[in-house]
């Protein structure tokens, strides 16, 4: 089986093809696709060696998808570069060049990351969506986690109250975008509902 490695934040990951299966995507416009299941292993992580993460992507898009993810990984290197101005003004004293330096992703970085992925998809797959749809997706991603400024980061671990969290995030998002033009605000809130599958 073919193997491939890529680097992200000075860590090396091995991508290994495990098997192929046929699946039907959740969107009706797509036909059945052949998908490769891969294991992704952090070569320096003992924990990862016991059970590598699994992801799926289509054979049809295999090469281009790899280029998208590699470019995305390259852009995320910016996460670990702290702007000098903040240090000069005494806002923090973190040593970003210390060995094994790492930290949790901020919501702002996550937001930029989602927009970066959509831009890369538009570059490589311009026919998969109209410019209007891509622009709509990027706009939603720009604001989609503003609700976490009140509710905090609440990933779905199977035990959270999804309806309550969605409502709290919706309310906070509504407040945070209150200064936008009315039609823009309405469109973002509508897309947020669609994104979350919430019952508003």
**Mean of pLDDT values over 101-129:** 89
User: So what's the pLDDT on residue 165?
Assistant: 85
Please report which confidence band the pLDDT of residue 24 belongs to, taking 50, 70 and 90 as the band edges.
low
**89 phi and psi, to 5 degrees?**
-95, 10
Please report which confidence band the pLDDT of residue 1 belongs to, taking 50, 70 and 90 as the band edges.
very low
Give this prediction's pTM: 0.63
**Mean of pLDDT values over 90-103:** 67
Please report which confidence band the pLDDT of residue 52 belongs to, taking 50, 70 and 90 as the band edges.
very low
Q: What percent of the chain has pLDDT over 70?
A: 56
Torsion of CA 106, 112, 118, 123, to 10 degrees: -140
Q: Which two tokens stand for residue 150?
A: 């009140």
Whether 130 shows a pLDDT value over 80: the answer reads yes
**Do 83 and 108 contact (CB within 8 A), yes or no?**
no
């Amino acid at each position: 089986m073919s193997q491939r490695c890529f680097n992200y934040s000075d860590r090396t990951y091995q991508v290994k093809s495990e098997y192929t299966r046929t699946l039907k995507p959740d969107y009706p416009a797509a036909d059945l696709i052949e998908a490769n299941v891969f294991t992704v292993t952090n070569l320096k992580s003992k924990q990862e060696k016991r059970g590598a993460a699994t992801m799926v992507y289509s054979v049809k898009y295999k090469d281009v998808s790899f280029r998208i993810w590699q470019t995305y990984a390259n852009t995320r290197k910016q996460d670990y570069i702290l702007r000098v101005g903040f240090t000069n003004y005494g806002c923090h004293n973190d040593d970003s060049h210390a060995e094994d330096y790492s930290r949790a992703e901020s919501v702002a970085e996550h937001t930029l990351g989602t927009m970066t992925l959509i831009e890369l998809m538009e570059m490589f797959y311009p026919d998969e969506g109209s410019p209007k749809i891509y622009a709509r997706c990027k706009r939603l991603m720009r604001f989609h986690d503003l609700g976490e400024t009140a509710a905090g980061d609440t990933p779905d671990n199977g035990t959270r109250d999804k309806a309550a969290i969605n409502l709290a995030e919706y309310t906070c998002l509504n407040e945070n975008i209150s200064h936008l033009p009315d039609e823009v605000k309405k469109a973002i809130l509508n897309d947020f509902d669609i994104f979350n599958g919430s019952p508003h």
